[in-house]
Chain A
């Protein structure tokens, strides 16, 4: 029987992904911290939007 190609496996002990720590999981639902993160994420998004604004070219005659 042919072996299944290793890269097609959807799960397995050899696939290592980042796992959140207990502290991270707690902070994800800790409202005072999330309020700060809400402000921080919004500021980052606004900065990104400002940089993404379409550039204006001078009109061609």
Chain B
């Protein structure tokens, strides 16, 4: 109760600051509604494109050919466009973060799922399931227990295999498991080329790679699971859904979530773990969409998603626009210079990401760009990293401008509050 009260007081302070400015300022509630509406549209689009992917997978399994395989790959790449724009919701929205590991976990030990190249190694120390190859084995041992894997079902993947033995690299579900099944390993290192699985890997009449029926079964099960998971997240953002309710329970805290989510994805997750680490090690194993060589899009649409939530503007896959008052209106009302600085920084990032995306589509793939000795490629990736880092400074200023610091970065300090922090 006191927690709420404290936050309400901080919120009141923020509102007081806002009320000193001209009357055009939107209310925090309206801003949160826009943010939640964009989340709903983004997850709906993710679901729609995942349904198209599922249909393409059905066609591939019914009639395996280069054409149906390529159609499924195209559907996967299209499905990543809206999904990557939703990732900014992961940070701050605990419901999303809790769920995300099932859908977008990465990197994965592909040897858990299917055959791998001999150079992958067979040592079982790191991960007892490192080369267990579910597709080739009708039973396997997890944590010393024999598991019947004769039928590959969504439940087997989600409840038994995913993060089996607590190893996070045991990714059995989600976009990247499907990606691996559609492309296969990328054995080209930091040279040109993505994974090149043949369509006959799914052809029971003319099977390559062995166990084509089980490979198809795995692919279909993982696709069905993705649909179930996305349906769950769509429901979370509908009116009365858990994520929307949690966000809007406290307007001030909700505003802090928007900005800290933007900053956390920009600086830590994207610039850090997904980009800088790979560049530091020049290691394509650290590439995000590594089988499909789709990493440039994955990063680009992450950056777009950050801008979407700031400006309250999202272009859906059908071209229609979901828009409403963004948190930019509150920042602008409080301090127009902070707003324009932040907008400029977001545009600079989009521009740097566009250069990286264009290079990937014309000159060399992302895994080549991070290769050792590729100074020009390294510089393009570094420029995107630098822009992401640069945009967190005005995000921090926006947090301060809206007087959200106490909630975003510290606990509150009321002595009677069990959540309080001694300071």
Q: Is B truly associated with A?
A: no
Residue numbers of B with Cβ under 8 A of A are none
